[in-house]
Structure 1
Amino acid sequence: MAALLVQLMSAGGAGTDGEQAAVRSAGGTGNVSTHLSALKGEVSTLSERFKAARERRRLQAEQEREEWEREPQSPAPSRP
């Protein structure tokens, strides 16, 4: 979690530009609750994106497995 926090802070956050601008205009380091709220929103957004990507990958792997099972299996070549 700490690595994610450092990465988000160094990259300027993962939210939309409007969210980042709102956080920046909140008074710098003075409003911790605003920063924490923005960070929670970014983590939530990243979590949703990760879950969606994981589900897409799972479906892709399932489709590849089904295609593999449908392909005719050729016998191994015989050696002299």
Structure 2
Amino acid sequence: MTVISVAALVVQLMSAGGAGAQGEQAAGRERGDPGSVSTNLSALKSEVTSLSERFKAARERRRLQAEQEKQEWEREPKTPASPGRE
């Protein structure tokens, strides 16, 4: 599993209340309601997709920023060497 998948899984588990969840979600698990499993799985898949897209966008922004910084550095005038040292 990738880091993003693990993070999405942890978020999903935390939002579901974990193993000791009470109420409607716990009752659904006790009954073995297959609808809640597929609903949770599809929600998890969409969350992983969303996180993956956000990660790719952030990586692309960082790449563009690094490229821009490199171009700015290359355009800066270079300081000449000291006159006494050749």
Identify whether the pair has TM-score above 0.5, normalized to the shorter chain. Answer: yes
CA distance in 1, matches of 2:71, 2:40: 46
- Gapped runs of 5+ residues in structure 2? 17-23
Q: Cα offset for 1:34?
A: 0.6
Aligned partner of 2:20 in structure 1 is none
In the alignment, does 2:3 pair up with 1:3?
no
TM-score, length-scaled by structure 1? 0.67
* Structure 1 unaligned regions, length at least 5: 14-26
Q: Secondary structure at the match of 2:77?
A: coil
1:1-80 matches, within 5 Å, as: 1=1, 3-4=6-7, 5-10=9-14, 12=15, 28=25, 29=29, 30=33, 31-77=36-82
Larger radius of gyration: 2
Q: Report the RMSD for the aligned CA atoms in angstroms.
A: 2.5
Which sits farther off after the overlay, 47-56 or 1-10?
Answer: 1-10
How many residues are paired up?
66
Q: CA deviation at 1:9?
A: 2.4
Letter in 1 for 2:10: V
Q: TM-score normalized by structure 2? A: 0.63
